[in-house]
Structure 1
């Protein structure tokens, strides 16, 4: 596992949170422990795949610069 503390201070990262069923959370912890990855690593992998499946094909989320509004 890697140390995730350094991401807290990085401007290119943000924290997210949400509620999921306890049984799913337990299964998630077991699965990521089996792969020896952190929660952040697992969530980043899962969210990247979800975004790829759900964004319009012409939207390049991984190349677009963040813009201040």
Structure 2
């Protein structure tokens, strides 16, 4: 019987530890999601700059071809 009580207490302890790890895991997932969003924003911004540079280069080339 004492062995059974020991296992019950160990089980309770493991469940509590598991719940704490689930909570921590959810926080990490949320942080990763936020980082992904920020990374996508940076990529979109950089893509906008590249498109602007490309348009400028095309305009410059067109001007040179007319000369």
Task: Quickly name the TM-score band, shorter chain normalised.
Answer: under 0.3
- Normalising by structure 2, report the TM-score: 0.28
Larger Rg: 1 or 2? 2
Query: Between Structure 1 and Structure 2, which shows a larger proportion of helix residues?
Result: 2
